Amino acid sequence: MAQHDLEITISKTGEVRVHVKGVKGKACMAYAEWLAKAIGQVKERQLTSEYYEPETKARIDLHQELGRGQ
Amino acid sequence: MSTVIVLTPIVIASWPAITAAVAAAAAGLGLSVREELRSEEAVEAENQAEVELENSEVLAQGMALGKELVLTQGEMTIRVRRDERGQCRVCAEGKGHSKQELKQMAEAFSQKLVQSYAYHRTVSELKNKEFQMVHEDVAEDGTIRLHVRRWVD
């Protein structure tokens, strides 16, 4: 089982900052896309070193699951 | 770490959803809220200031014509309504305050409203994806902090 964590802050002005943790590769973008669709416009995006690590099969499945849920 | 995104909320909601967000924002500020028919009574221009909620669209469904939400605290009144173009507007009224103070109050409430909307929208979406809340708190500056987790095979 893989653990996926989101650390979210909602500022006084309503701006939402989401830090996706524990998700490697492009699968983490599934979270970003899902939240952007649900909440609003993407103002800023930063990719960190984990993004460039290889994805696992489980994470590909997650991406598909998130895609179906929209 | 993997990715960080910053989102600007877009408030597209039905009137009942706006009402819920207004009620939550009002509770956080110690204001009482009620829904009533929009008053035709004229308020002197210097005793009111109105701001438009950016990136907002109030859907007409479930909304009785001419209704507005009225929040009161002492001599201060804040009115929330849907304008002719479907955008959400917040108006602050009260005697003994400068126009600038009233505008600041309307803006402060608008921000609280957007924060409440973003919070409820985010938590609802997280629940749909079966995330579990690990930690939630509010920082001294009013920022809401959430830490959620889910396990995947």
Q: Per-domain residue ranges for chain A?
A: 5-68
A13: nearest CB among B4, B114, B145: B114
| Integer Cα distance of B43 and B41 in angstroms | 6
- Give the C-alpha separation, B138 to B96, whole Å: 32
Q: Please tell me which of the candidates A41, A46, A62 has its beta carbon nearest to residue B7.
A: A41
Structure confidence at residue A64 as a pLDDT band (50, 70, 90): low
Name the 3-class secondary structure at B77.
strand
Lowest mean pLDDT among A13-17, B44-48, B71-75: B44-48
Length of chain A, in residues = 70
The H-assigned helical ranges of A1-70 are 27-39, 57-68
Q: What kind and span of H or E run contains B107?
A: helix B99-128
Average pLDDT over all residues of chain A: 77
**CB–CB of B5 and A34 under 8 A?**
no
Q: How many helices (H) and strands (E) does chain A have?
A: 2, 3
Count CB neighbours of B130 within 10 A: 10
Report whether pLDDT(B65) > 50: yes
* ipTM > 0.90, yes or no: no
Contact B118 A39 (CB under 8 A): yes
- Of the two residues A43 and B63, the one the predictor is more confident about is A43
Q: Which of B111, B122, B152 sits opposite A4 (nearest CB)?
A: B152
Q: What are the chain A neighbours of B128 within 8 Å (beta carbons)?
A: 69
Q: Label residue B44 left, alpha or beta by phi (over 0 means left) and psi (-120 to 50 means alpha).
A: beta
Does residue B88 contact residue B33 with C-beta atoms inside 8 Å? no
CB contact under 8 A, A1 and B151: yes
- Which chain B residues touch A54 with a CB distance below 8 Å? none
pLDDT band at A60 (very low <50, low <70, confident <90, very high): very low
Question: How much is the average pLDDT of A37-49?
Answer: 85
A1, A3, A16: best to mutate for the B interface, most B CBs within 10 A: A16
- Counted across chains A and B, CB pairs separated by less than 8 A come out at 163
Chain B nearest-CA residue for A62: B152
